[in-house]
A and B are shown apart, each in its own frame.
Chain A
Amino acid sequence: MVEGIQSVSQVTSWLVSGRTLFLAIHILGVACFAYIVAKRLVPLLRAERDLRFDRPLVRLERVFKFWLGQWKHPRYKTAGTLHILIFAGFILLAMRAFAVLIVGVSQNFVMPGLSGRAGQIYDVITDYAATVVFLCMVVAVIRRLVFKPARYEVPARFGKAHTADAVFLLALIAILMVADSLFEAAKAAGQSQLGQPVETLAVLSLPWILQIALLPVATATIGKVYAGAYLLHEVTFYFLLCYRPFGIQFHVETSLFNVYFAKLDREILKPVRWGVSDEHLDQVKSFGVKTFEDFTWKHMLDFYSCADCGRCSDNCPSNAVGRPLSPRFLTIKARDYAFQHYPMFRHSDVGSGSGNGNSKPLIGHLYSEDEIWSCTTCGACEEECPLLVEYIDKIVDLRRGLIDDGNVPQSLQKPLKALESRGNPYGKMEKKKADWANAKEFQQVCQVKTLGKSNGADTLYFVDSITSYDDRMQSIGRATAKILDHVGENFGILGAAERDSGHEVRRFGEELLFTALRDHNVEAIKASGVKKIVTADPHAFNALKHDYKDVPEVEHISQVIAREVKTGKIKFNPLESRDKVYTYHDPCYLGRHNQVYDDPREVLDAIPGLKRVEMSRSRDRSFCCGGGGLMLFYEPKEEQRMGVKRVQMAAEAGANVIVTACPFCMVNIEDAIKVAGLEGKMTAIDLAELVDQEMVREEQKAV
């Protein structure tokens, strides 16, 4: 080491040698950390099971992409860049930190493989890494205190601001970097003063700067700075280590696991209970999440892993319109609950055993009912979260609990009852389900057969409830039928045998009503003998694709049209009007949930003369129209309608026609156009309707 400057392990203060002190700090620090982590794991041991141990290679690949590769971070450029730099810095500094810690006990410790040239290169890298991390901390603090990005704000109902905590943690990391750099700088300054070979410090790095500052200082003082910086480093390191599990910084440790155990099959909803098949559901005593312990261990890990970045709530349409829901706080509140009820030093105040009798119900204490019913399951939150925290499953599970307790808003009880007795939320009669297709004038233009014993077909057009019964949406049904007819598809509909797909029924927590609807439909589909299914309803599309088993492959009509545009079966007349500017609104269940972004756009771009613009929030950042299915019946407390915001976005993009490919989007957008006062200035049209309108036909038939 350096003669004249004692190695830290040999420094003696108050009769305690450095080695002893630092060893004691190591042991204490590690022991504390282990104890804390063990305490944090306690609720996870009481949680419901979650099957996340399959397909390890796929999971590892995702760890590389989302954790190491920080895949989602660049979606927010500034914060993303900062975080990538900090993360890279931490990864690079990991070995150095370890080495520094050991030096306090074993003075000549060098990491195996890092002696000599390799070590020197590594040292240079880590010098810059520490500097970059330090600078990022400064920038981050300035962002927090000066620029105050809106998504970090804490609405009054959720408590006080998190700024102080955030700045505190950022400052600690900065201190750690400074301590580390000071330690190196002091060593190099001492070496230089004593005329010994100086360890190279990276030019313009923090240690390099500090070393220059230390050169004029007396050697004895440098010795003290050297020891002091080391102590500071030790203490700060272990303080951070033990402090992190008490807040959002726990994500430093849990993120790897959270990403590894993240859901692989994004579109398959969590079953009521893992390991319990549909037939055995009667044995489950309580459905859904009612108390904290009803969450699965992975959901609890999600709560721990949230970094409070606010990206989820920033993109949540419910949050944007002032509904009580903010996904970020769904998580933070649950995390705080865990911290409060599973404390470090006392026993948990929650009774043990499967009854969890002491655990308070979440609804009414942690969450309000409206918070839970407000979610449209659009998936924007999950799309955004860099840590892959899951939300939809939790909302569905909480709703299952509410339904189980009979705690359902009156506005939803009526359509649910109608779905049970009539198979559709409007309470309309089954025998009228095919009326839209059987209207006399329409029959002359397009024959739609109802599948039955004497009527078979290759393809089923699954119409679903709103398109069948709603006066306005029936036109989407007719347009779709005409398109299928035009491309020569041999298709039919189920008519009175078709029940609602049950997509929202399931997502609103009425699992058993959903299975009743599903089983009925599956039987009808099988009996019809069709080999493929087409639908114009993205909710039905999603249900048939992911919620239903043993049914033929399903496509959305936009996929069919896009394909037939390429084959040439569908050709378009040039658009007549000159002043229309079109924009495509991605329906959540076609776009974000099923990644069908390009087909509808290709179709629009194939229409000659069609001017198309993109809204700033499009594709996987599309803004939910307000929701479909049962959501149309729910009466939310909100400041504005989601549809109105969306229509304003379209106007901002310079469009005067909104094209969408979902009947629920159509309902919400057409309604919003009126509410926003844009009647006459903005119109909406469904993709199928537009294609039907502009398609070239052999004989020009009028409907």
Chain B
Amino acid sequence: MNVEILVCARRVPDTSENEIELNSAGNDIERDELVYSINEPDNYAVEEALQIVARIGGNVTVVTVGGEDDEEILRREMAMGANHGVLITDEAFSGSDARGIATILKSFVRKGNYDLILTGVQAEDGGAQVGGMLAAMLDYPFASLVNSIEVLEGRKLKVSREIEGGNKEMSEIDLPCVLSIQTGINEPRYVGMRGIRAVASVPIPTFGVSELGVDPGAVGEAAAKVKRVDYFVPALGKGAEMLKGSREENVHKVLELVAAKGGLK
């Protein structure tokens, strides 16, 4: 059948291997010793794309908007099996807000011929926005929180969305479309050092403002309408009453409290 899949990915600080703290100036998080990797839901999206293409044929392209440092996630996904990696980079793009990113991605999509566009459901900033925005800009149908994809005849997909109570909302969606992928949809394959080394020197094409034909006034810092002003750790305020005793004392206190609240039958 053959399907061209584009996965929009992002390189983020790896939350499981980092301790996120404010820096000493208090205006950003401490980035010095952060380990970065591909945003976890994006990785699930790439794995899903690879599985679809293995079933029905096609190609998987992974694209990211950023700088040189972000190339490493493209290589990693190519080591995983993606056919192409593309870096969209230009000084004019830096400081873009989510809408700016979606605008950039839209221009890239228009340059190609993609049947299916996948993004991860959200990144470390919890925005969950680029996928939906991109779909609206392209006038493609959209579904978020997708946890299963079945390819149907006649350029359609059957997708399942994760809604409350663990229930699944089943819908039919026309291609081309945009889907945002939820973690747990599959079990991503392992990418070993060997795979990464094998793609270490594969050339990665770059696209800038002129190649994309995007209006520089619509992207970048100047065009951004949403800007983060600072990072802070809220005063703990009320918060929890922290028990300070020994483990034995704490166990005792917990039992007392639970019993008092009627928690022990």
Which residues of A pack against B, CB within 8 Å? Answer: 282, 287, 403-408, 410, 412-414, 416-418, 420-422, 427, 429-431, 510-513, 516
Query: Which of these, B14, B187, B191, contacts A421 with CB under 8 Å?
Result: B14
Complex contact A510–B192 (CB within 8 A): yes
| Smallest Cβ-Cβ distance to A420: which chain B residue | B193
| Interface residue B189 (Cβ < 8 Å from any Cβ of A) | yes
Complex contact B194–A407 (CB within 8 A): no
Complex contact A404–B16 (CB within 8 A): no
| Interface residue B118 (Cβ < 8 Å from any Cβ of A) | no
| Smallest Cβ-Cβ distance to A403: which chain B residue | B192
- Report A-chain residues with C-beta under 8 Å of the C-beta of B33: 429-431
Query: Which of these, B17, B81, B194, contacts A404 with CB under 8 Å?
Result: B194
CB distance from A520 to the nearest CB of B (A): 13
Task: Give the distance in Å from the alpha carbon of A410 to the alpha carbon of B191 in the complex.
Answer: 11
Complex contact A421–B37 (CB within 8 A): yes
Interface flags for B159-191 (1: CB within 8 Å of A; 0: not) read 000000000000000000000000000011111
Give the one of A406, A430, A516 with max B CB within 10 A.
A406
Complex contact B189–A407 (CB within 8 A): yes
Task: Give the distance in Å from the alpha carbon of A310 to the alpha carbon of B5 in the complex.
Answer: 52
- Report A-chain residues with C-beta under 8 Å of the C-beta of B192: 403-404, 406, 416, 510, 512-513
Going nearest first, the 7 A-B pairs with the smallest beta carbon separation are A406-B189, A408-B190, A427-B17, A512-B193, A421-B35, A513-B193, A406-B190
Task: Give the distance in Å from the alpha carbon of A216 to the alpha carbon of B197 in the complex.
Answer: 85
Task: Give the distance in Å from the alpha carbon of A135 to the alpha carbon of B50 in the complex.
Answer: 64
| Smallest Cβ-Cβ distance to B32: which chain A residue | A431
5 contacts between A and B (CB under 8 A): A406-B81, A416-B190, A422-B17, A427-B35, A516-B193
Complex contact B17–A287 (CB within 8 A): no
Complex contact B194–A287 (CB within 8 A): yes
What count of chain B residues pass the 8 Å CB interface test? 20
Complex contact B187–A282 (CB within 8 A): no
B65-82 contacts to A (CB < 8 Å): 80-81
- Report A-chain residues with C-beta under 8 Å of the C-beta of B35: 421-422, 427
Task: Give the distance in Å from the alpha carbon of A405 to the alpha carbon of B187 in the complex.
Answer: 14
| Interface residue B58 (Cβ < 8 Å from any Cβ of A) | no
| Smallest Cβ-Cβ distance to B200: which chain A residue | A282
- Report B-chain residues with C-beta under 8 Å of the C-beta of A404: 192, 194
| Interface residue B249 (Cβ < 8 Å from any Cβ of A) | no
- Report A-chain residues with C-beta under 8 Å of the C-beta of B194: 287, 403-404, 511-512
Complex contact A510–B17 (CB within 8 A): no
- Report A-chain residues with C-beta under 8 Å of the C-beta of B198: 282
CB distance from B128 to the nearest CB of A (A): 24
| Interface residue B95 (Cβ < 8 Å from any Cβ of A) | no
| Interface residue B28 (Cβ < 8 Å from any Cβ of A) | no
- Report B-chain residues with C-beta under 8 Å of the C-beta of A431: 33
CB distance from A101 to the nearest CB of B (A): 56
CB distance from B198 to the nearest CB of A (A): 7
B20-36 contacts to A (CB < 8 Å): 33, 35
Complex contact B17–A407 (CB within 8 A): no
Q: Quick one: given A408-B190, A510-B192, A512-B192, are A414 and B197 in contact (CB under 8 Å)?
A: no
CB distance from B48 to the nearest CB of A (A): 14
- Report B-chain residues with C-beta under 8 Å of the C-beta of A282: 197-198
Q: Quick one: given A421-B35, A421-B37, are A406 and B191 in contact (CB under 8 Å)?
A: yes
| Interface residue B19 (Cβ < 8 Å from any Cβ of A) | yes
CB distance from A502 to the nearest CB of B (A): 11
Task: Give the distance in Å from the alpha carbon of A408 to the alpha carbon of B37 in the complex.
Answer: 19
| Smallest Cβ-Cβ distance to A408: which chain B residue | B190
Complex contact B187–A510 (CB within 8 A): no
Task: Give the distance in Å from the alpha carbon of A282 to the alpha carbon of B37 in the complex.
Answer: 24
- Report B-chain residues with C-beta under 8 Å of the C-beta of A287: 194
Task: Give the distance in Å from the alpha carbon of A408 to the alpha carbon of B17 in the complex.
Answer: 20
Task: Give the distance in Å from the alpha carbon of A182 to the alpha carbon of B14 in the complex.
Answer: 81
| Interface residue B195 (Cβ < 8 Å from any Cβ of A) | yes
- Report A-chain residues with C-beta under 8 Å of the C-beta of B193: 420, 510, 512-513, 516
CB distance from A472 to the nearest CB of B (A): 14
Task: Give the distance in Å from the alpha carbon of A420 to the alpha carbon of B193 in the complex.
Answer: 8
Task: Give the distance in Å from the alpha carbon of A511 to the alpha carbon of B191 in the complex.
Answer: 13
- Report A-chain residues with C-beta under 8 Å of the C-beta of B190: 403, 406-408, 412-413, 416
- Report A-chain residues with C-beta under 8 Å of the C-beta of B187: 410
- Report A-chain residues with C-beta under 8 Å of the C-beta of B188: 410, 413
Additional A-B contacts beyond A406-B189, A427-B17 (15; CB < 8 A): A282-B198, A404-B194, A406-B190, A406-B192, A410-B188, A416-B190, A418-B16, A418-B17, A421-B37, A427-B35, A430-B33, A510-B193, A511-B194, A512-B197, A513-B192
CB distance from B251 to the nearest CB of A (A): 15
Complex contact A406–B197 (CB within 8 A): no
Task: Give the distance in Å from the alpha carbon of A510 to the alpha carbon of B19 in the complex.
Answer: 27
Complex contact A408–B189 (CB within 8 A): yes
Give the one of B16, B17, B188, B194 with max A CB within 10 A.
B194
CB distance from A284 to the nearest CB of B (A): 9
Query: Which of these, B37, B81, B189, B197, contacts A417 with CB under 8 Å?
Result: B37
CB distance from B14 to the nearest CB of A (A): 7
- Report A-chain residues with C-beta under 8 Å of the C-beta of B17: 417-418, 421-422, 427
- Report B-chain residues with C-beta under 8 Å of the C-beta of A429: 19, 33
CB distance from B35 to the nearest CB of A (A): 4
| Smallest Cβ-Cβ distance to A405: which chain B residue | B189
| Smallest Cβ-Cβ distance to A414: which chain B residue | B16
- Report A-chain residues with C-beta under 8 Å of the C-beta of B19: 429
| Smallest Cβ-Cβ distance to A412: which chain B residue | B190
- Report B-chain residues with C-beta under 8 Å of the C-beta of A403: 190, 192, 194
CB distance from B197 to the nearest CB of A (A): 6
Task: Give the distance in Å from the alpha carbon of A233 to the alpha carbon of B181 in the complex.
Answer: 74
Complex contact B16–A427 (CB within 8 A): yes
- Report A-chain residues with C-beta under 8 Å of the C-beta of B37: 417, 421
CB distance from B133 to the nearest CB of A (A): 30
- Report A-chain residues with C-beta under 8 Å of the C-beta of B191: 406
Task: Give the distance in Å from the alpha carbon of A430 to the alpha carbon of B190 in the complex.
Answer: 24
